């Protein structure tokens, strides 16, 4: 069959959910659309078989959850949101089995549970006398932001009233009256209709246009329906017209910036992208890091990087430097030290030839927190042990910070190290330090450090002398003059 494309003209989407009568999607009338009725019956039959199979597996009472998993996998059962709902509905008269199934899904396939799933389970617990479990479930739902649906409230309140459970009934009424009613159930029903339609159209040989994909995905994201956005991305990646690398990056950014960071959803997107033969780029890391930073989650970057590496992407040197800098900018010494450890490992693994940029970022991070001595130790270690040549700008930055903190001796040692690597001297911070707070002994040491072929450097002598006068320290200038030997032309 030749593939056709369904677009916004064929599949008109409305994600605004007006009032209680929600119209998630509307299909324009088309005679060819009825073509899918037979495929729908086939899908329903398959779903019915899976429901019976899952119900039977969890009714057997296996000793371990792993045994259940093996049984499901051997029968090619894939847990989906729709399957969870159907199984719970089928187990309505067997609450203990239903609870066992629900707990198993919650532990292993938590993304497949929704407000509707929780309300189905909550209703079963309430009407079957599992009162403690009922209130425990209410507490869990509150943490997830789920409320009690009108249907669940009606069923359970009727049961509580019939059993004369006055205190529980009043507690439930107060909960419901406080605004804990869940209108998202109706929204979920609309989403289910949406999925039925697009699967039906795919089954009939229709493919989705790029513009339709972008429009629907952005509506999901706008409505903070991140899980649905990921499901939709997975669906689109199995079609003929696949989302681009930029679409993948966009979705990853939205996942890490959502209210709660869901690494399961993040990994699903990375895995689907990789399995389709695509390769992530460093620009993806950069974009994701920016999103993490924007919501104050840069500390989660290790998890994100691990997930991206599993997707075949390893950060380059400059990118690792940026990560180290962003981590260290949080201001915690432990975090900066971890970044420093990562830098050492990176140099050991990849060599020192391209590590100068990363080192400068780390040194800058230390200096911003007034930890110049830590930066000095780091730089000295990698120069002496790893034979790394820092940038001239790195030396200049660190020299200035050391002198600001009164670390003249360490700054002088660093100056010697800088000269040994062939860089021109950087006198400005030394002259400023000596003229304002330094002693004549300090000036003498600087002069000796700058001595070439047994003669003091004339320029250093003159600049120091002038700086003393400019700072109004005439006595120090006189003392400095007396200490200096005769300068030969």
Judge whether residue 119 has pLDDT over 80: yes
Query: Does residue 207 sit within a domain?
Result: no
**Could you tell me if residue 198 is inside a domain?**
no
Percent of the chain with pLDDT over 70: 75
Indicate if 43 and 177 belong to the same structural domain.
Answer: yes
Q: Is residue 192 one of the residues assigned to a domain?
A: no
pLDDT at 253: 92
Q: Which carries the bigger pLDDT value, residue 151 or residue 480?
A: 151
Both 336 and 405 in one domain: the answer is yes
One DSSP character per residue, 163-228 reads TT-HHHHHHHHHHHHTT-B-THHHHHHHHHHHHHHHHHHHHTTEEE-HHHHHHHHHHHHHTT-HHH
Lowest-pLDDT choice from 28-37, 115-124, 247-256:
28-37
Cβ atoms 162, 126 nearer than 8 A: no
Do 270 and 348 lie in one domain? The reply is no
**Whether residue 342 sits in one domain with residue 310:** no
**Is 370 found in the same domain as 290?**
no
Pair (261, 336) in one structural domain: no
Is the Cα torsion angle 351, 356, 362, 366 positive or negative in sign? positive
DSSP string over 40-53 = HHHHHHHHHHHHHH
Statement: the pTM of the whole predicted model exceeds 0.85: no
Question: Where among 398, 426, 454 does a domain terminate?
Answer: 426
Q: Choose the final residue of a domain: 132, 167, 186.
A: 186
Does a structural domain hold residue 126?
Answer: yes
Contact 50, 77 (CB under 8 A): yes
Residues 290 and 367 in one domain: no
- Residue 394 is part of a domain; what is its CATH number? 1.25.40
Range with the lowest mean pLDDT among 4-8, 192-196, 247-251, 331-335? 4-8
Residues 341 and 446 in one domain: no
Q: Is the pLDDT confidence value at 419 over 70?
A: yes
Residue 205 within a domain: no
Q: What is the pLDDT of residue 27?
A: 35
Residues 92 and 161 in one domain: yes
Domain count for the chain: 4
Both 58 and 121 in one domain: the answer is yes
Position 158 in a domain:
yes
- What would the pLDDT profile of 293-312 be if each residue is shown by its tens digit? 778 776 676 677 777 777 67
Per-residue model confidence (pLDDT) at position 142: 83
The bridge status of strand 4-6 relative to strand 25-27 is unpaired
Query: Are 28 and 10 within 8 A, CB to CB?
Result: yes
285 and 344 belong to one structural domain? no
Give the span between the Cα atoms of 446 and 179, in whole angstroms: 74
Residue that is last in its domain, among 267, 288, 315:
315
- The pLDDT, as a whole number, for residue 475 is 80
Q: Is residue 376 part of a domain?
A: yes
Residue 24 lies in a domain: no
Q: In which domain, by residue range, is 377 found? A: 332-426
Same domain, 179 and 51: yes
């Amino acid at each position: 069959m030749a593939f056709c494309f369904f677009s916004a003209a064929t599949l008109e989407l409305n994600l605004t959910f007006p009032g209680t009568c929600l119209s998630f999607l509307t299909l324009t009338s088309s005679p060819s659309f009825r073509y899918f009725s037979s495929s729908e019956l086939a899908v329903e039959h398959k779903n019915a078989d899976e429901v019976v199979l899952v119900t039977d597996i969890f009714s057997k009472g296996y000793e371990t959850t792993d045994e259940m998993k093996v049984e499901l996998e051997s029968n090619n059962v894939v847990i989906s949101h729709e399957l969870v709902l159907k199984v719970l509905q089928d187990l309505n008269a067997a609450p203990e089995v239903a609870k066992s199934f629900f707990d198993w899904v919650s532990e292993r396939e938590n993304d497949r549970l929704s407000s509707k799933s929780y309300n189905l389970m909550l209703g079963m617990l309430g009407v079957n006398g599992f009162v403690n479990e009922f209130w425990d479930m209410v507490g869990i739902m509150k943490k997830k932001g789920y409320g009690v649906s009108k249907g669940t409230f009606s069923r359970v309140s009727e049961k509580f009233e019939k059993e004369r459970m006055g205190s529980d009934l009043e507690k439930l009424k107060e909960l419901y009256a406080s605004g804990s009613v869940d209108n998202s159930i109706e929204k979920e029903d609309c989403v289910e209709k949406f999925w039925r339609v697009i699967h039906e159209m795919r089954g009939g040989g229709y493919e989705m246009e790029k513009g339709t994909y972008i429009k629907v995905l952005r509506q999901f994201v706008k409505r903070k329906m991140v899980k649905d956005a990921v499901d939709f991305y997975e669906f689109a990646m199995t079609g003929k017209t696949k989302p681009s690398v930029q679409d993948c990056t966009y979705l990853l950014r939205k996942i890490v910036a959502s209210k709660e960071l869901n690494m399961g959803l993040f990994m699903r997107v990375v895995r689907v992208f990789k399995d389709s033969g695509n390769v992530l780029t460093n620009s993806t890391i950069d974009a994701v890091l920016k999103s993490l930073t924007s919501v104050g989650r840069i500390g989660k970057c290790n998890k994100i990087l691990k997930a991206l590496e599993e997707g075949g992407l390893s950060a380059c040197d400059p990118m690792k430097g940026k990560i180290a800098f962003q981590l260290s900018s949080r201001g915690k010494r432990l975090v900066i030290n971890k970044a420093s450890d990562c830098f050492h490992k990176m140099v050991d693994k990849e060599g020192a030839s391209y590590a100068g940029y990363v080192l400068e970022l780390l040194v800058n991070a230390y200096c911003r927190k007034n930890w110049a001595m830590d930066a000095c130790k780091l730089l000295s270690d990698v120069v002496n042990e790893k034979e790394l040549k820092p940038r001239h700008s790195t030396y200049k930055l660190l020299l200035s910070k050391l002198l600001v903190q009164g670390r003249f001796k360490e700054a002088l040692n660093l100056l010697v190290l800088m000269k040994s690597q062939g860089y021109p001297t950087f006198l400005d911070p030394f002259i400023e330090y000596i003229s304002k707070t330094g002693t004549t002994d300090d000036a003498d040491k600087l002069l000796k450090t700058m001595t070439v072929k047994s003669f003091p450097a004339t320029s250093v002598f003159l600049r120091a002398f002038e700086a003393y006068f400019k700072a109004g320290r005439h006595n120090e200038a006189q003392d400095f003059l007396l200490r200096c030997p005769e300068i030969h032309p």
